[in-house]
């Protein structure tokens, strides 16, 4: 098995090609698989860069996407791109596209088949298609809220509106992360790269297979051999009951408040009897809800923020685990969720986000390594970038302590599905399925590929 990581911190096409050419000249094997992870700085030239890579490796299978940053033993950057070149038959790429979550990922699951030891699943958690579609979301929201939700007299009627709205969201924009993982085959550990950029723009997140943009679809990179999949979250263990988990959240997070939520599917109608954005504005005086034009302008210029230090922690009816949904001041009356809310209690917890122990808590991922001489591919929650700034380099220092050869990605909070969890994670929101909108990290240790 040959594995090599090549990266370039440059953003312009000419500089990228110059740098990559010199690095490719030292390559001593023909890769069978190319995993390409680009950062936002390459956005303008990324199609040309992919064309160049296609001309360089025309017969090599390729998969990739945009991430926030990456790290190798030599350096870490939030710009340029990183390529993982693999020469082995123990890795393959599959992809699928369908009308909704179930169709896309059931199709992908049957494509994958069985016999794999780990799967890296790349898909857009929230897809921002284009200006026209963004306007459609806005006007749909007005229609569903003003003409249907507000006129509903009972909670049951409201839930019916939310169910319809939720179905619309799922068919065009959102792949609810827990539903995606549920649709995937049992038995093989699945690492989910549920993409949602820190600062979104139209046409993001972007995912590629064989040098082509696949739009709103799912890609599975499957590994076979001596491979170990590891998950970690920075939170304390969950409780054994709703009350216990609430107590744990109260102790861990600041500004905690119990709230009642009207929700269904992936839509929230109200928090404590008012619209979620009004609730956020009431709690955090500094937040003023943006208007439609300001929101569209942010999406056009790539400054549409998708992270927030305030959110609602939902508690699972199945495991008493918890996942937080960040609240942002955008002009949407019915608030969308990135995960299916049906498995959660209607009573939730409003909180301000923080990570106890700071950046050190993310380093514990590497302590869970079981192979000493493996190539390690890890994904760290991208919330660490705005949260820790320059200090995120400490994560790379932690990695160097335990890993000899690695490639790290800073990307959306990864999810995980496996029967082999080492402790009762707070993020285990369904049996053997972990997801949280922040504080998670995953790693694939590759000792040998078949």
Number of residues that bind another protein (CB under 8 A): 28
Looking at 31, 64, 80, 189, which residue binds another protein (CB under 8 A)?
A: 80
Instruction: Name the phi and psi angles at 61, rounded to 5.
Output: -70, 140
> CB of 387: closest distance to another protein in angstroms?
9
Q: What is the DSSP string of 165-219?
A: HHHHHHHHTB--HHHHHHHSPSSS-EEEEEE--SEE-TTBS-EEETTEE--S-EE
Closer to another protein by CB, 19 or 447: give it: 19
Q: Judge residue 419's burial from the number of C-beta atoms within 10 Å of its C-beta, 0-12 exposed, 13-18 middle, 19 or more buried.
A: exposed
Q: Judge residue 397's burial from the number of C-beta atoms within 10 Å of its C-beta, 0-12 exposed, 13-18 middle, 19 or more buried.
A: exposed
Instruction: Name the phi and psi angles at 164, rounded to 5.
Output: -65, -45
Query: Residue 109 and residue 283: Cα distance in Å, rounded?
Result: 43
Residue 69 binding another protein, by CB under 8 A: yes
Looking at 32, 36, 49, 76, which residue binds another protein (CB under 8 A)?
A: 76
Looking at 151, 167, 356, 391, which residue binds another protein (CB under 8 A)?
A: 391
Looking at 97, 160, 394, 450, which residue binds another protein (CB under 8 A)?
A: 394
Closer to another protein by CB, 79 or 160: give it: 79
Query: Residue 121 and residue 144: Cα distance in Å, rounded?
Result: 33
> CB of 297: closest distance to another protein in angstroms?
13
Interface residues for another protein in 7-46 (CB under 8 A)? 9-12, 15, 40-41
Query: Residue 391 and residue 77: Cα distance in Å, rounded?
Result: 13
If DSSP codes are grouped into helix, strand and coil, which group holds residue 282?
helix
CB 176 within 8 A of CB 337: yes
Looking at 57, 66, 77, 144, which residue binds another protein (CB under 8 A)?
A: 77
Q: Which stretch in 174-182, 221-229, 234-242, 389-397 sits in contact with another protein by CB under 8 A? A: 389-397
Please list, in sequence order, all residues whose beta carbon lies within 8 angstroms of the beta carbon of residue 259, skipping any fewer than 6 positions away: 271, 272, 279, 312, 347, 348, 349, 350
Residue 393 binding another protein, by CB under 8 A: yes
Please list, in sequence order, all residues whose beta carbon lies within 8 angstroms of the beta carbon of residue 113, skipping any fewer than 6 positions away: none
Q: Cis link prior to 205 (omega < 30° from 0)?
A: yes
Q: Which stretch in 26-34, 69-77, 361-369, 413-421 sits in contact with another protein by CB under 8 A? A: 69-77
86 pairs with which residues across the strands? 3, 33
Interface residues for another protein in 184-203 (CB under 8 A)? 199
Residue 450 binding another protein, by CB under 8 A: no
Q: Which stretch in 100-108, 153-161, 383-391, 419-427 sits in contact with another protein by CB under 8 A? A: 383-391
> CB of 193: closest distance to another protein in angstroms?
19
Token look-up 């009308």 returns: 99
Residue 392 binding another protein, by CB under 8 A: yes
If DSSP codes are grouped into helix, strand and coil, which group holds residue 297?
helix
> CB of 362: closest distance to another protein in angstroms?
12
Q: Which stretch in 177-185, 214-222, 334-342, 385-393 sits in contact with another protein by CB under 8 A? A: 385-393
Closest of 157, 256, 285 to residue 149, by C-alpha: 157
Residue 79 binding another protein, by CB under 8 A: yes
CB 178 within 8 A of CB 107: no
> CB of 281: closest distance to another protein in angstroms?
22
Closer to another protein by CB, 225 or 386: give it: 386
- Cα torsion angle, 203, 208, 214, 218, sign: negative
Query: Residue 391 and residue 425: Cα distance in Å, rounded?
Result: 25
x/- map, 331-360, another protein, by CB under 8 A: ---------------------------xxx
Token look-up 């009627």 returns: 157
Q: Which stretch in 75-83, 94-102, 155-163, 220-228 sits in contact with another protein by CB under 8 A? A: 75-83
Query: Residue 290 and residue 286: Cα distance in Å, rounded?
Result: 12
Q: Which stretch in 129-137, 172-180, 184-192, 392-400 sits in contact with another protein by CB under 8 A? A: 392-400
Q: Which stretch in 52-60, 86-94, 337-345, 386-394 sits in contact with another protein by CB under 8 A? A: 386-394
x/- map, 278-317, another protein, by CB under 8 A: -------------------------x--------------
Looking at 385, 421, 432, 450, which residue binds another protein (CB under 8 A)?
A: 385
Residue 406 binding another protein, by CB under 8 A: no
Closer to another protein by CB, 203 or 358: give it: 358
Q: Which stretch in 93-101, 177-185, 255-263, 384-392 sits in contact with another protein by CB under 8 A? A: 384-392
CB 42 within 8 A of CB 113: no
Q: Judge residue 80's burial from the number of C-beta atoms within 10 Å of its C-beta, 0-12 exposed, 13-18 middle, 19 or more buried.
A: buried
Binding site for another protein (CB under 8 A): 9-12, 15, 40-41, 68-69, 75-80, 199, 303, 358-360, 385-386, 389-394
């Amino acid at each position: 098995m040959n594995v090599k990581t090549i990266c370039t911190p440059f953003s312009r096409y000419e500089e990228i090609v110059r740098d990559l050419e010199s690095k490719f000249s030292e390559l001593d094997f023909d890769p069978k698989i190319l995993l390409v992870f680009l950062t936002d700085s390459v956005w303008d030239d990324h199609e040309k860069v992919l064309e160049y890579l296609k001309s360089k490796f025309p017969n090599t299978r390729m998969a990739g996407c945009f991430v926030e940053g990456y790290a190798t033993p030599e350096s870490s950057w939030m710009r340029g791109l990183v390529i993982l070149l693999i020469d082995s038959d123990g890795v393959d790429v599959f992809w699928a596209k369908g009308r909704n979550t179930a169709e896309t990922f059931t199709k992908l699951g049957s494509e994958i088949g069985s016999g794999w030891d780990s799967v890296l699943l790349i898909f857009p958690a929230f897809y921002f298609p284009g200006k026209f579609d963004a306007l459609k979301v806005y006007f749909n929201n007005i229609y569903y809220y003003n003409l249907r939700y507000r006129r509903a007299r009972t909670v049951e009627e409201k839930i019916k509106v939310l169910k319809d709205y939720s179905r619309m969201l799922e068919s065009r924009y959102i792949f609810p992360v827990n539903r995606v993982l549920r649709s995937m085959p049992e038995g093989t550990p699945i690492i989910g790269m549920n993409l949602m950029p820190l600062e979104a723009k139209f046409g993001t997140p972007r995912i590629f297979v064989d040098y082509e943009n696949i739009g709103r679809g799912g890609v599975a990179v499957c590994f076979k051999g001596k491979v170990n999949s590891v998950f970690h979250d920075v939170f304390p263990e969950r409780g054994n009951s709703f009350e216990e988990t609430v107590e744990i959240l109260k102790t861990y997070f600041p500004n905690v408040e119990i709230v009642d939520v009207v929700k269904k599917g992936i839509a929230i109608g109200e928090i404590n009897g008012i619209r979620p954005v009004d609730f956020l504005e009431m709690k955090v005086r500094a937040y003023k809800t943006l208007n439609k034009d300001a929101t569209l302008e942010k999406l056009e210029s790539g400054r549409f923020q998708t992270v927030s230090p305030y959110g609602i922690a939902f508690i699972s009816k199945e495991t008493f685990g918890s996942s937080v949904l960040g609240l942002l001041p955008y002009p949407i009356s019915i608030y969308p969720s990135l995960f299916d809310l049906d498995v959660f209690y209607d009573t939730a917890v409003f909180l301000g986000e923080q990570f106890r122990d700071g950046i050190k808590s993310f380093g514990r991922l590497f302590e869970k390594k079981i192979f000493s001489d493996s190539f390690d591919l890890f994904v760290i929650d991208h919330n660490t970038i705005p949260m820790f700034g320059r200090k995120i380099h400490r994560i790379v220092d932690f990695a160097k302590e335990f890993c000899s050869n690695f490639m790290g990605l800073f990307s959306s909070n990864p999810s995980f599905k496996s029967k082999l969890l080492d402790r009762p994670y707070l993020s285990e929101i369904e049996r053997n399925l972990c997801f949280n909108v922040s504080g998670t990290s995953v790693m694939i240790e590759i000792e040998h590929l078949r």
